Copies of this chain bind each other. A is one copy, B any other.
Amino acid sequence: MTPHSNADSAEAAFYRAFELCDLQAMTRVWDDSPQSTCIHPGGPLLQGAEAVLQSWGEIFGQAKAPQVQYRLLQRLENDGLAIHTVEEAIRPGDGDAEPTLLIATNIYRQTDTGGWLMIAHHACLPMMGQRQARGRSTHSVH
């Protein structure tokens, strides 16, 4: 395991692995735990490191390496857990289309060895167009 000294370092490694479609690097970012969870946009909850990493393997197998930018919007921390809300801008590797914007909740846990690893990545479907600028959802209920 790469010993990330804090959640920010683990997060940088996560997005680097994503951008490089590097499953080995992605594996090193995740806590090898049945508690690890991942939700890809519009997808179901994947539970356990094995299912999570299998999904990343499938994604990496299909995709040309995308361009991934991320911006930390908010952090919430206490001893041993760090919750980051992140805006992602993902541009597919096979085109020069506008990047897709997503919001993700990334959660990191300090392990017994003191290093930080990802324990959850929950990504939401794109914000539509300039909805963000209007500052509200168009959904009448929830």
- Contact partners of A131 in chain B: CB under 8 A: 42-44
Q: Is the CB of A90 within 8 A of B128?
A: no
A65–B128 CA distance with the chains assembled, in angstroms: 26
- How many chain A residues touch B (CB < 8 A): the figure is 55
Number of copies: 2
Label chain A's interface by main secondary structure.
Answer: mixed
Q: Contacts A76-B107, A81-B78, A92-B141: A128 and B59 contacting too (C-beta < 8 A)?
A: no
CB within 8 Å of B: which residues of A?
Answer: 18, 35, 37, 39-45, 47, 55, 58-59, 62-63, 66, 73-74, 76, 78-81, 83, 85, 87-88, 90, 92-93, 102-103, 105, 107, 109, 119-120, 122-128, 131-132, 135-142
